A and B are shown apart, each in its own frame.
Chain A
Amino acid sequence: MQIIVCIKPVPDPKYLSRVSLDETTKTLVRENVPTVINPLDKNALEAALSLRERFGGEITVISMAPESCIPVLREALAMGGDRLLVLSDTRFAGSDTLATASIIAAAIQKTGAFDLIICGNETADSGTSQVSPQLAEFLGVPNIMHVSAIEVSDDGVFRIKSRIEAGYVIAELSAPMVLSVIKELNEPRYITLMNILDAEAKDVRVLSADDMILKEPWVGLSGSPTQIVELAAPEKRAKAEILAGDARRQARALADRLYRMGFYHG
């Protein structure tokens, strides 16, 4: 089975409180925030690894990102991806979701046939959920969003369970297709020390705009139909804290917190 997994480097969601908005440039200030693979993309990769374990084949990991992100993206090879394609070109900078999808589609058309493309349902930074359906549209294959289970019968029919507001939908279809997966699908595996060493020998290639045939006009900031008019930071909400330990310990800690906040009796 030939599987493509699309991944994106994003600011580590654990440190999102450190991300701020530059009011002048209307861009995110990410200083001191580590870059990681978008968490849901790891679920996508885990799904691909499970399918490869059962059916064999190869996993190509694709990311449109600056070359400086390769050390972060290499984690996908340590998880088990076979090769990494990085789509990197200054002309790609500022691409909106449509431009991004059209560039990734052009790269995929260049790399050859595929059975399955798996993406995270949304990214932790922009969260539009638009790239994977647009990618499917460009490639002329079906797309299922919010995928929570993937089953494949012996005769190659995919049975895809996806979450909707009222429950789940189960669809049966044949490859090729684009699946956009949610956290519920699986638990991404740990990266072992042996895997990290193995990944160093794996193939990493960088493709520029000249290495692919871009059929669509949508490339980079100037070619992106989306124009950002205004960006605003959401109103800061109260910070949640998870109390650790057993019930007794949690109750005691909660009582302490309430006492410190001035809620006490007598």
Chain B
Amino acid sequence: MDFKLTERDILLQRSIREFAEKEIPPRMDTMEETGEFPLDLLKGLADMGILGVITPKEYGGAGLGHLARILVLEQLGRVSPAMPMALQVHHMCTYALTNFGSEEQKKKYLPPLSKGEELGVVAVTEPSGGSDVAGMKTTARREGDTFILNGRKCFITNAHVSNTWIVPAMTGEGRKGMSAFIVEKNFTGAKTGHVEDKVGLRGANTGELVFQDCEVPAENLIGGEGNGMAVALGTIGNCGRPGMACVGLGILNAVIEEAVKFATERELYGKPISNLQAIQWYITEIFSDLEIARLLAYRAGWMLDNNIPADTACTLAKQWICEAAARSARKAVEIHGSYGILKEYPIQRLMRDALVAIPAGGTAEIAKLVLSRVAIKEYQK
């Protein structure tokens, strides 16, 4: 097995790190205070190729793969985990269009999404929950060349800062009764609802999308009628879950840096507290979580790039890494002592961010349910 990153990967990491370290920190206080995504950074993100990282070149993207996307999101998340949160959902939109869209749909929607003219979302979760996808309440009724959508999507990242929404809705009964649609924000009957005031990942906008007799042209059906479940689950599985893994991975990168910085600067009994075994153990545990998280996330990206079925790898990466981020952030708060709960120290933000990352893009329990089925099938004798 070859675990070595290529020259391209290393240069990519370095260039995104430089961009992230210069461009994101001046905006972070505002992101924290307002809970808004820094839209003024959109053009810069587009120019860097970040918005279209997995979009093919012919549609204005950089044409890179999933491992490259993971490396990009990790570097952004190291500075602000809210950035990969917002961008990974945008990538889900570009992924769905690239993999399920018609040629006309790709030509129309992908270039503006790569150029930073707009952000995208895939909106699955509803007020009744996101885990029971088949129990979706949003409906789409055909009337001639138009579908009429009615329903409500909630906990949608980028809800208020995006224009292109991929929306699954029920066009019939059962698994084959779901279809997915490309909805533009300015379509009649489409609007944004409530803005969520989250405790973490505050720089990523989260809110509701509301459809009241929303008129969607039939040509905006994506993936064919009755294939909405495949569009939704394929996009969540291959793009959303590794994307969420990157949020956790970004948090872990930041957590180890904050933990080591504090432990080597803070003195107790005349020496840095990093000399104390209790602190050393915490640091080892955080370091282990980060290293294992990298292996899981990179492997998932590599499998996707090599067309190896990666459902399990992506689910495992998402579930394990987001939980590792939360437990490591908690340990880093412990290292900080009382300073860990002060807003002046970034570690409290990272702990809040990690808590928000756990249910986002599918709860830990749903991921464990999926993984248990795989394990039982694989090892049952």
Contact = CB atoms under 8 A, between A and B. Distances in A.
B18 A190 contact: yes
A253 B343 CA distance: 10
Nearest to A187: B22
Nearest to A249: B344
Given A78-B11, A191-B15, A246-B29, A252 B47 contact: no
Chain B interface mostly helix, strand, loop or mixed? Answer: helix
A90 B49 CA distance: 39
A94 B73 CA distance: 41
Q: Among the interface residues B48, B50, B63, B266, which one has the most CB atoms of the partner chain A within 10 A?
A: B48
A161 interface: no
A193 B344 contact: no
A252 B344 contact: yes
B272 interface: no
A244 interface: yes
B122 interface: no
A245 B266 contact: no
Contact of A196 (B12, B19, B339, B344): B12
Contacts of A8: none
B7 A193 contact: no
A74 B9 CA distance: 13
Contacts of B47: 190, 192
Chain A interface mostly helix, strand, loop or mixed? Answer: helix
B25 A196 contact: no
Contacts of A196: 8, 11-12, 15
B344 A245 contact: yes
Contacts of B7: 71, 74
A11 to B, nearest CB: 15
A23 interface: no
Interface in B42-91: 44, 47-50, 53, 62-64, 68, 72
Given A71-B11, A74-B7, A193 B19 contact: no
A245 B50 CA distance: 26
B258 to A, nearest CB: 12
A79 to B, nearest CB: 9
A190 B339 contact: no
A240 B47 CA distance: 34
Contact of B12 (A193, A245, A260): A193
Given A196-B12, A245-B344, 9 more contacts: A75-B14, A78-B11, A192-B15, A193-B62, A194-B49, A197-B62, A197-B63, A197-B64, A199-B11
Interface of B: 7-8, 10-12, 14-15, 18-19, 25, 29, 44, 47-50, 53, 62-64, 68, 72, 266, 339, 342-344
